[in-house]
Amino acid sequence: MSRKILALDLDGTLTDSNKEITPRTKEMIAKMQEQGHIVVLASGRPTPGVQRVADKLHLSEMGGYMLSYNGARVQDCKTGEILFQQTMPLDMIPILFDEAKEHQIGMMTYQDGKIISGEIVDKYMGLESRINGLEICPFADPAAQVTMPVNKCLGTADPEHAARLEVLFREKYGDRIDVGRSEPFFLELLPKHVDKAASLGKLCEALGQTKEDLIACGDGFNDRSMIAFAGLGVAMANAQDVVKEVADYVTLSNDEDGVAHVIEKFILAKANCG
């Protein structure tokens, strides 16, 4: 059997409702890696947040990859090399923090393993902090603290407010950045033309493989592109309907070892059949 690349979203896909990876899923991932298949963690999370999960799966030893910031950065877990990345226009950073202040929402970016934010720190920002294990550092002038290239900014607001601002920001800045939501309360602000599918396509090319070798699993709207792109696109049972619409297969939910089921059915079983 040819080598497969398994791209996994994290929240709502690889992890269960408690943000944990079940023992059975860990076991199946270990087995497929031992057979030479490749695991790619494909997430909207910042790189340090993805790295925490990669460590649990021993991707540095087994030769996996991290696709973070929704695809704005792709990194080799074994060597630490950044294979490619895209960054925000530098002048957009103060603009977005000013917009957040005007509309009274949270706004953050990531630097040196910390969250750089404005003075509004809401419960959604607290969630981002806990999930990724990153300290929140609020500033009156957060843009002045940003000294490194930015892969992503993230706005936080109650869902209805976030939906309105998604439309507003796309109208005002859609020619310069991509605007979307990964969760009803997370407003994703990314470099133009960044998505999981585009970055996975580049990674497949770098590895000398095609999209037919790619299996992609996800549950959220930001997973839709990679599920549609992959040779086998898999939606979780708990996925949004718009994600299921583009999937080739719907697996069990993230609380029912849906990822382990995919590995058994489409990777390990086929390898055992020769």
What is the rounded CA–CA span in Å between residue 16 and residue 182?
17
pLDDT, tens digit, 9 for 90 and up, residues 249-273: 999 999 999 999 999 999 998 766 5
What is the structure's pLDDT at 270? 72
Choose the catalytic residue: 9, 16, 178, 213: 9
What is the structure's pLDDT at 28? 98
**Rounded (5°) CA angle 8-194-96:** 115
Question: The pTM is what?
Answer: 0.92
Low-confidence ranges of the chain (pLDDT < 50): none
What is the rounded CA–CA span in Å between residue 178 and residue 142?
21
What is the structure's pLDDT at 151? 97
Give the orientation angle of helix 123-132 with respect to helix 47-56, to 10 degrees: 40
What is the structure's pLDDT at 183? 87
Q: Which fold has domain 92-191?
A: 3.30.1240
What is the structure's pLDDT at 95? 98
Active site residue 158: no
User: Which ranges in the chain are annotated with CATH 3.30.1240.10?
Assistant: 92-191
What is the structure's pLDDT at 273? 53
Q: Which fold has domain 5-86+194-272?
A: Rossmann fold (3.40.50)
Residue 101 CB neighbour total at 10 angstroms? 15
